[in-house]
Amino acid sequence: MSPLSRLRVAIRHVTSFMRRLVYTLAKPMKRDHGHGGLVVHPYRGYGSRERVFLMGRVYRQVGLGRVIPRRGILRDLADVVRRITRRGQANATVEVRLGEDSATVTTDHDGYFHIQLPLSGNLPKEECWHHADLQVRARKETPVRTTTEVFIPVPETDLLVISDIDDTVMYTGVAHKLGMLYRLFVEKPHRRTAFPGVASLYQALHRGADEQGQRPILYVSRGPWAIYEVLETFFQLNRIPVGPILFLREWGLSLRHPWPRRAEDHKQAVITRMLALFEGIPCILVGDSGQHDPEVYKRIVEEHPGRIEEIYIRRVDDKPDRERAIEALRDQIRHTRCELILAADSLLMAEHAHARGYISIHGLEAVRRDVMEPDRDTP
């Protein structure tokens, strides 16, 4: 290929990248149809049969003028500008109703709201996903209404899966946003951004050994809530079970606190909270060797005897010192029922999970196909 041809290909790639990036960044802004005003963005909720939790953010954003077309790159660019300039709406009233139960809260100074809703037990027990209705009021404006999904495990749920995202599900975590965005929007994301076999492994864990399960899978990331929609796109493109929620961090940066909360503290707090919420359900933890996952998970095992069934750690480097450190952690929990598995790929995790009865033979074969043929589409 001549230098000129390579330049043309590079320009096409960059153009494609920019168009897709702009479109995705603009997509959340399209909900108001260009009218502006008050907008509410709820995240997926989760909970038990006793109570559920919901979180979201209320924004105030400018409207679009008549000279901006309804579609096209100009509209997308205008929506990106609106996204950059939008501001959280403080002191808005948020009312949520799920079945016959309801609760009302107000947003904080950044527009976020957190709702804990006790349940009276009237929701269908055979269903996992439920729809909650939200109504938002601010000042004397017309109320804004929307809905969101809430995940509640069925009573016969036998296993809870909690997984890291960065370098566990996708190759590069949110610490390298530009590289992640390039792979997500240019390099055929369903083939190249996720580790081979990840989608089929998580599908198998979600369905269980009898292929009938709807186990909860919770994902934890060290990234801020601002990338929620990007990660949602990633999960959808890769056909990874979406889980009830992506547990991200509220960075809340300020002059007094210029750095976000440590990722390992965030992860341990989330896992501890989920083990308390889903009391009595055994748990599998999935992470990677590159950060602090093995150390955090080892502490979780010690603090919650009998709750953690397995720890699967994806090996993301070949550092002998790091591998010896993880082996030492494995020895420290050898006396418990939990086993720490350091695996080079998704297939080794799947083989162990099948041997322990967590996934079906069909799930194992699907992972094997995806790992052996990484360019094939995950079924």
Range of lowest pLDDT (11-20, 25-34, 192-201, 247-256): 247-256
Same domain, 130 and 107: yes
Q: Is the pLDDT of residue 190 over 60?
A: no
pLDDT top residue among 308 and 11: 308
Confidence of residue 183 (pLDDT cuts 50, 70, 90): low
Residue 67: predicted pLDDT: 57
DSSP states along 229-278? HHHHHHHHHHT----S-EEEE-----SS--SPPPHHHHHHHHHHHHHHHT
Range of lowest pLDDT (66-80, 133-147, 149-163, 275-289): 66-80
Residue where a domain stops, chosen among 121, 151, 181 = 151
Same domain, 106 and 180: no
In a domain, 3, yes or no: no
Residue 182: predicted pLDDT: 57
Q: Is the pLDDT of residue 188 over 50?
A: no
The angle formed by the CA atoms of residues 330, 334 and 335, to the nearest 5 degrees, is: 150
Give how many domains the chain has, as a whole number. Answer: 2
Two tokens, residue 278: 């889903």
Residue 252: predicted pLDDT: 41
In a domain, 100, yes or no: yes
Nearest CA to 353 among 362, 364, 337? 364
What are the pLDDT digits (tens) for 338-356? Answer: 999 999 999 999 999 999 9
| CATH at 314 | 3.40.50.1000
3-state secondary structure of 50: coil
Mean pLDDT calculated for residue range 181-194: 53
Q: Is the pLDDT of residue 237 over 50?
A: yes
Same domain, 145 and 164: no
Same domain, 225 and 121: no
C-alpha pair distances (Å), 170 with each of 16, 183, 221? 21, 10, 11
* Model confidence, pTM: 0.79
Residue where a domain stops, chosen among 120, 151, 182 = 151
Same domain, 147 and 272: no
Confidence of residue 379 (pLDDT cuts 50, 70, 90): very low
Q: Which domain holds residue 326?
A: 160-372
Same domain, 207 and 253: yes
Task: Choose the most confident range, by mean pLDDT, from 43-57, 90-104, 255-269.
Answer: 90-104
Mean pLDDT of the chain: 81
DSSP states along 81-135? HHHHH-EE-TT-EEEEEETTEEEEEE--TTSEEEEEEE--S-S-TT-SEEEEEEE
Mean pLDDT calculated for residue range 185-197: 60
Confidence of residue 174 (pLDDT cuts 50, 70, 90): very low
Mean pLDDT calculated for residue range 113-118: 92
Q: Is the pLDDT of residue 330 over 70?
A: yes
Instruction: Look up tokens 């589409």; give the residue.
Output: 377
In a domain, 308, yes or no: yes
Mean pLDDT calculated for residue range 306-310: 96
Q: Report how far residue 325's alpha carbon sits from residue 22's, in angstroms, rounded to the nearest whole number.
A: 43
Q: Report how far residue 32's alpha carbon sits from residue 30's, in angstroms, rounded to the nearest whole number.
A: 5
In a domain, 15, yes or no: no
Mean pLDDT calculated for residue range 126-139: 91
In a domain, 170, yes or no: yes
- Residue 310 pairs in a beta bridge with 284, 339
Same domain, 238 and 347: yes
